[in-house]
């Protein structure tokens, strides 16, 4: 049962197959079923009576929901609409691959994809209430805590008092990617909104761009009212422009990876570049940058298809190798998780906030 919007988006495909050049998963698997075009065809056939089977369901999960296809679709339609709904159908029909099911169960039980009970970030001495709340997201809290701690150091240096929730609930971002946008996801978003409200925050600095995108685009439609939402990159850029951070200078060449949700869903490209320039870095761009950026693999995909996520991240490093930069940075914890673990020999990855901390 697909919405008419999903059906229209699926049926709109002209089979030009240009999306095969864009899909980061198809680029490493070479499988036609990994193109948005093939997924659209399958959704069209499901709507015409074909029964969804386990293989079709698996195909729908072999996608990062990065939006590269939507951004450059020749017909201007949005494959993510029907891919999300196909995932919902897979759940309704109990056809979700076992490895995906495990991740869903972990999120439902613990609020995060890692199934972690306690954050790895050092939150000692950090209050839970205040005007400014830093929302970390599951990846920074449980997988790459150094990104969160670096952001804390930068904010402290700039004299920005902030609070962090010790038991930060899931935002609904991962669950929304796994289940599609169903009531269970909205319920998680409502719990997150309630936790933010209890913190008394007037402004929320969001570190994980997946969470920021969901909060900015879906929360209001779901009846979840939030205070001002600011991405961590926009916040740090603003602090630099206000002269509240003095940064050591370098002349090193670096390249910047635009996280897919930051670049496409939030349409934010320049603050991270401005931060790098403020430290004196010379940015040598990869060919696919800004809205055209190639995804390096989401944290949630890393949990249920680690092999594909690894190859997707390695493929992004291939783009780095086509520049003369030996140093890569990105501004989303999920990018850091994927790229830090796959840096080739002679290349270096540093999270943007860790980089700023090093330049304080």
Partner 1 sequence: MNIIVCIKQVPDSLEVRLKDDYTLERDFVAQVMNPADESALEWALRVRDRTGGAVTALSMGPARAEGMLREALARGADQAVLLTDPRFAGADTLVTARCLASAIRALGGADLIACGRRAADGETGQVGPMTASMLDIPCVTNAMRAEAAERLTAEQLTEDGVTVWTCGYPALVTFCEWSYRLRLPTLAGLKKARQAEVRRLMPEDIGLSAAECGLKASPTRVRHVEAQPAGVRPCRQVSAAECLAALRERYPEAGL
Residues that bind partner 1 (CB under 8 A): 1, 3-5, 7-8, 88-89, 91-92, 179, 181-186, 221-223
Half-sphere exposure of 34 (CA within 13 A, CB side): 17
- Contact status, residue 334 vs residue 259, Cβ threshold 8 Å: yes
CB of 84 to partner 1, least distance (A): 12
Nearer CB in complex with partner 1: 8/120: 8
Nearer CB in complex with partner 1: 184/208: 184
CB of 92 to partner 1, least distance (A): 5
Q: What are the residues facing 229 on neighbouring strands?
A: 204
Task: Kindly write down the DSSP assignment for every residue of 280-335, as one continuous string.
Answer: T-EE---SS-GGGPPP---HHHHHH-HHHHHHHHHHHHHHHHTSS--EEEESSHHH
* Residue-level length of the chain: 360
How many CB atoms neighbour CB 3 within 10 A? 12
Half-sphere exposure of 168 (CA within 13 A, CB side): 29
CB of 355 to partner 1, least distance (A): 39
CB of 110 to partner 1, least distance (A): 19
Nearer CB in complex with partner 1: 104/320: 104
What is the rounded CA–CA span in Å between residue 86 and residue 37? 14
CB of 87 to partner 1, least distance (A): 11
User: What backbone phi and psi angles, to 5 degrees, belong to 52?
Assistant: -70, 130
Nearer CB in complex with partner 1: 111/176: 176
E strand or H helix at 349, and its extent? Answer: strand 348-349
CB of 112 to partner 1, least distance (A): 20
Nearer CB in complex with partner 1: 84/309: 84
Mapped onto helix, strand or coil, the DSSP state of residue 140 is helix
Rg of the chain over Cα atoms, rounded to whole angstroms, equals 20
CB of 171 to partner 1, least distance (A): 15
Nearer CB in complex with partner 1: 186/309: 186
Q: Helix-strand-coil percent breakdown of the chain, rounded to 5?
A: 50, 5, 40
- Burial (CB < 10 A; 0-12, 13-18, 19+), residue 356, is buried
Nearer CB in complex with partner 1: 155/185: 185
How many CB atoms neighbour CB 26 within 10 A? 22
Q: What are the residues facing 206 on neighbouring strands?
A: 135, 231
CB of 65 to partner 1, least distance (A): 17
- Contact status, residue 44 vs residue 11, Cβ threshold 8 Å: yes
Nearer CB in complex with partner 1: 183/228: 183
């Amino acid at each position: 049962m697909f919405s008419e919007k999903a059906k229209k988006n699926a049926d709109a495909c002209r089979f030009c197959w240009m999306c095969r050049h864009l899909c980061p998963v198809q680029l490493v698997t070479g499988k036609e079923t990994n193109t948005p075009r093939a997924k659209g065809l399958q959704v069209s056939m499901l709507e015409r009576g074909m029964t969804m089977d386990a293989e079709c369901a698996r195909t729908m999960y072999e996608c990062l929901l990065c939006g590269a296809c939507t951004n450059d679709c020749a017909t201007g339609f949005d494959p993510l609409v029907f891919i999300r709904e196909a995932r919902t159908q897979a759940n309704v029909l109990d056809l979700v691959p076992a490895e995906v099911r495990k991740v869903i169960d972990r999120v439902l039980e613990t609020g995060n994809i890692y199934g972690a009970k306690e954050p790895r970030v050092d939150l000692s001495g950090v209050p839970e209430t205040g005007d400014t709340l830093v929302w970390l997201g599951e990846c920074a809290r449980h997988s790459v805590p150094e990104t969160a701690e670096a952001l804390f150091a930068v904010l402290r240096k700039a004299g920005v008092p902030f609070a962090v929730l010790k038991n930060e609930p899931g935002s609904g971002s991962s669950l929304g990617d796994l289940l599609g946008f169903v009531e269970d996801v909205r319920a998680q978003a409502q719990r997150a909104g309630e936790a933010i409200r209890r913190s008394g925050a007037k402004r929320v600095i969001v570190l994980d761009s997946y969470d920021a995108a969901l909060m900015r685009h879906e929360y209001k439609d779901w009846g979840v009212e939030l205070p001002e939402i600011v991405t961590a990159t926009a916040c740090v850029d603003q602090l630099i422009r206000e002269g509240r951070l003095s940064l050591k200078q370098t002349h090193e060449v670096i390249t910047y990876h635009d996280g897919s949700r930051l670049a496409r869903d939030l349409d934010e490209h320049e603050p991270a570049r401005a931060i790098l320039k403020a430290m004196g870095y010379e940015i040598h761009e990869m060919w696919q940058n800004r809205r055209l950026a190639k995804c390096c693999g989401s944290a949630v995909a890393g949990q249920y298809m680690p092999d594909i996520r690894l190859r997707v991240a390695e493929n992004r490093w291939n783009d780095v190798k086509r520049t003369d930069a030996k140093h890569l940075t990105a501004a989303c914890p999920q990018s850091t998780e994927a790229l830090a673990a796959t840096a080739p020999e002679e290349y270096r990855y540093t999270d943007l906030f860790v980089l700023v901390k090093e330049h304080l």
